[in-house]
A and B are shown apart, each in its own frame.
Chain A
């Protein structure tokens, strides 16, 4: 894409227009759900790579909301808990706290190799080695880290189940 450099008093307006021009469209059909799925994300002791890719997905370069998802900052408002990181023993309590705060009908999704089975950080004195140590992992998104596109695609697939 060609980007024209502009400065001067109109530049702010151009910046608005550019931001709008780049705004991504959700791939495929807009989901026919009554309301968006609300996701809450917890990092539990990985390298932060997966978490930062989800942060990117929630930023302006991706159409998370158009795809039918919204990131919430309180687990009490969340439908899905997305978990990244190798689940350190210290973080187990945090996961429990978030999970209990979520309303009924909730789901748990492991994002990235760490969250599934520890990935590069298997169980040790400090880590549990992923969610599998706490519960059977039924929903997961592989990768180290998965890209925002991978994550979004997987979320959409999971939403259809």
Chain B
């Protein structure tokens, strides 16, 4: 019996972790016996369909040719593949055969200047906006999120039974804006993918580019990247904690979170960095003039003393979050939900653990795995404590050598960064130094197929509070 990983590796290896499969091998992968490997992302363009999987903690990318705008659907085997298939149809008009789901648009709600805008043969504009199906709508401005995401619900007796999401309002067409540019030209835009990852997104991109170029960033750069990511983690966890707290009228806890987040932003600005660490990561390192040691010290100094009060307030208010917006452990596994939301539901994946030079002893956060808003809030707090420890350890041994070998240069790379809201993945293919192809996967995408089960049974009025507790960025999902 040959497992899925071996079937993929029987294809033609074209990059460190990427295998081209012919249609027979693709079919065999979809029919592989045993459990499917966890799906990180899937996408397709005019030429090929791709699936990014996780084998242990390593990425494995398989792709196959798209013929006559069709390929065999990944959703026939992988839970959670529908979103990628719908996006591919909206952008390129390539169709997933035997796909699951209702085929509703993911991004194209009408109103674009063409249909299948990224295809080599785009269609004419569809005209006005298409109304979403469903008996109840939550308009993009009513979700309580920081960006426009539209929800439609089937509601029975005041309770949600089914959810559909459309992210067209937040779609800015970033892929089309980046193709044909050098990675350095692309970086300013990558640094504005989402405010839910001003560090995590450019970092995952920089790692993908380094791998494509056959480079390994030195230990000094690696540690600066790690430190920036931890500062961002604390800041975003505080943002999500405040929002969750406000969802249950725990204003005092939210107040302390607000103050702590602002204190971090000011410390960053005072040390010459930007408030939210925008534009700090570059393809080959970090912004010139960035002094990481005083920055880390300043952030640590303002955050550490605030922890005790936050923990105490969390203890007081946490019962209000008991049993609220539960993500079942099986669903977290099934859809490979990452970040705090996945870990609070018992999926222990944290991509930091596989990083070279990681001070593993600092990553201790454990907590309840009940999957409710209380578990997520508690875990965010525990992770802030870990981030502070990690920053101490990094300062204690900054730039310590280790012997990570450089990969061969293949002009193709995969990069990942464990952001505050989960694992951010980038795949990049270069040609003559320019971006020939490109894919981004924000962790929010993994949450989409799980939302129906999380929200089932609640009235629509509770949806904003539930969404606030899972930390989701429409900009990251829609791109």
* Docked CA distance A52–B197 (Å): 12
The bracket for how many chain A residues form the interface is 35 or more
Cross-interface CB contact of B171 among A6, A45, A93, cutoff 8 Å: A45
Contact present for B169 and A90 (CB under 8 Å): yes
* Docked CA distance A60–B246 (Å): 11
Contact present for A7 and B258 (CB under 8 Å): no
- Within 8 Å CB of A158, what residues of B? none
* Docked CA distance A7–B311 (Å): 9
The bracket for how many chain B residues form the interface is 35 or more
* Docked CA distance A25–B239 (Å): 22
* Docked CA distance A22–B306 (Å): 12
Asked if B211 is at the interface of the complex by the 8 Å CB criterion, the answer is no
A58-76 residues at the B interface, CB under 8 angstroms: 59-62
Contact present for A60 and B474 (CB under 8 Å): no
Asked if A94 is at the interface of the complex by the 8 Å CB criterion, the answer is yes
- Within 8 Å CB of B109, what residues of A? 90
Contact present for A125 and B113 (CB under 8 Å): yes
Contact present for B252 and A45 (CB under 8 Å): no
Instruction: Provide the A81-121 mask, 1 if CB < 8 A to any CB of B, else 0.
Output: 00001101111111000100000000000000000000111
CB distance from B259 to the nearest CB of A (A): 5
Contact present for A19 and B255 (CB under 8 Å): yes
Q: Which residue of A lies closest to B313 (CB)?
A: A15
Contact present for A88 and B146 (CB under 8 Å): no
Contact present for A15 and B309 (CB under 8 Å): yes
- Within 8 Å CB of A119, what residues of B? 192
Contact present for A86 and B262 (CB under 8 Å): no
Contact present for B169 and A120 (CB under 8 Å): no
CB distance from B312 to the nearest CB of A (A): 4
Q: Would A45 and B148 be within 8 Å (CB), given that A56-B262, A88-B168, A126-B117 are in contact?
A: yes
* Docked CA distance A80–B129 (Å): 26
Residues of B in contact with A (beta carbons under 8 Å apart): 107, 109-114, 117, 129, 139-141, 146-148, 168-174, 176-177, 188-189, 192-196, 198, 239, 242, 251-252, 254-256, 258-259, 261-262, 265, 269, 275-276, 278, 305-309, 312-313, 316, 473-475, 478
List 19 interface pairs A-B (beta carbons < 8 Å), by A numbering.
Answer: A4-B305, A12-B313, A19-B255, A43-B147, A45-B169, A45-B172, A46-B147, A55-B146, A88-B169, A89-B112, A90-B129, A92-B111, A94-B140, A120-B189, A121-B173, A126-B171, A127-B172, A127-B173, A145-B195
Residues of A in contact with B (beta carbons under 8 Å apart): 2-7, 11-12, 14-16, 18-19, 22, 42-49, 51-52, 55-56, 59-62, 85-86, 88-94, 98, 119-121, 124-127, 144-145, 147-148
Known: A62-B262, A91-B140. 6 other contacts (CB 8 A): A12-B316, A45-B475, A60-B255, A86-B172, A94-B148, A126-B168
Query: 3 tightest A-B contacts by CB?
Result: A61-B262, A59-B258, A60-B255
